[in-house]
Structures are given as structure tokens and as C-alpha cells.
A = this chain, B = another copy of it.
């Protein structure tokens, strides 16, 4: 029935020779990537089954939920880490579904501001509650202390990566 046959897949197979103390970073990366994919797929499946929504839509609405006055599309693009062109279509579809509203402010006609509708706020609120529970469940076997450490240490990775990007990625 499910399309994915058996899913404890292992992207990490690529490495295999890394246990000798070399390629630690590659090994970590592959495990991060496969774990993230696993969690994403689970969340996507549940969002779809229980709310008929997609993960990118959820991500976008999450940003708008925090900014009730709405956000410019460029700002949405930065916060969701999605390209401008992509945001255009995403917002378009959400507007069709009546979850998001698009407005052009008087001051600057280059700008489009997206904003959650009442319907959008209601839906997102429900999804967010469920979403948080799913994550708690999925990570139930992990000691909260470890969760905390991971949060802190992944922050170190994020900082390091941010400081070693090739493309000009600055504000």
C-alpha cells in the first residue's frame, strides 16, 4: 500500500571507510542528511493525510503566522530559504485556497505583501500544534539532555558553515 517499501534507508553507505578517523565531517553530513530526510518525509505524510497541506506551504504559513501584518515576498524568500520565483507560485496557490492574501502597499508598488487570512490562521494554528506533537513523539526515545546538546552543537556547525560559504551570502 505505501509506496515506500522499507525506509530505514541508508544514505550513509557512501562512506563506510570513514570509521578510521578520517572523513568525520562527511560521515556527519550524511547522517544529518538522511535523518533530516526521514523526518521530513514523515511530517510531509502526516501534513498531507491529516490536513491536506504540503510541507513548503506549512513552512511559509509559519512565517506569516509570526508576522500578522504580513511579509514581503522577498522577506518570505529569505526566511523560508526558498528562491523568489518559488515563493511567487507558493503564495499564488495559497491565495487560491483562501489561506493567504496578497496586497500591494501604497508606498511602494514594487512590493507585494503576503498575509494570512483568518482561515489561514485557524488552519495553521491546528497544524502547528499537531506538528509539535509529532516531533516530540518521533524524538521520544532521545534523552532531553541530548536534545539540548544537539541543538547547541548543531548551532556550532551552522555558524561554521555560514562562515565558509562561497557565494556572497551577506546582508
Contacts and interface: CB of A to CB of B under 8 A. Distances in A.
A14 interface: yes
A79 B4 CA distance: 11
Interface of A: 1-11, 13-14, 16, 23-29, 31-42, 45-46, 59, 62-63, 65-66, 74, 78-81, 83-84, 131-132, 135-142, 144, 146-151, 153-171
Contacts of A135: 25-26, 29
A155 B157 CA distance: 16
A42 B166 contact: yes
Contacts of A3: 83-84, 155, 158-159, 162
B7 A136 contact: no
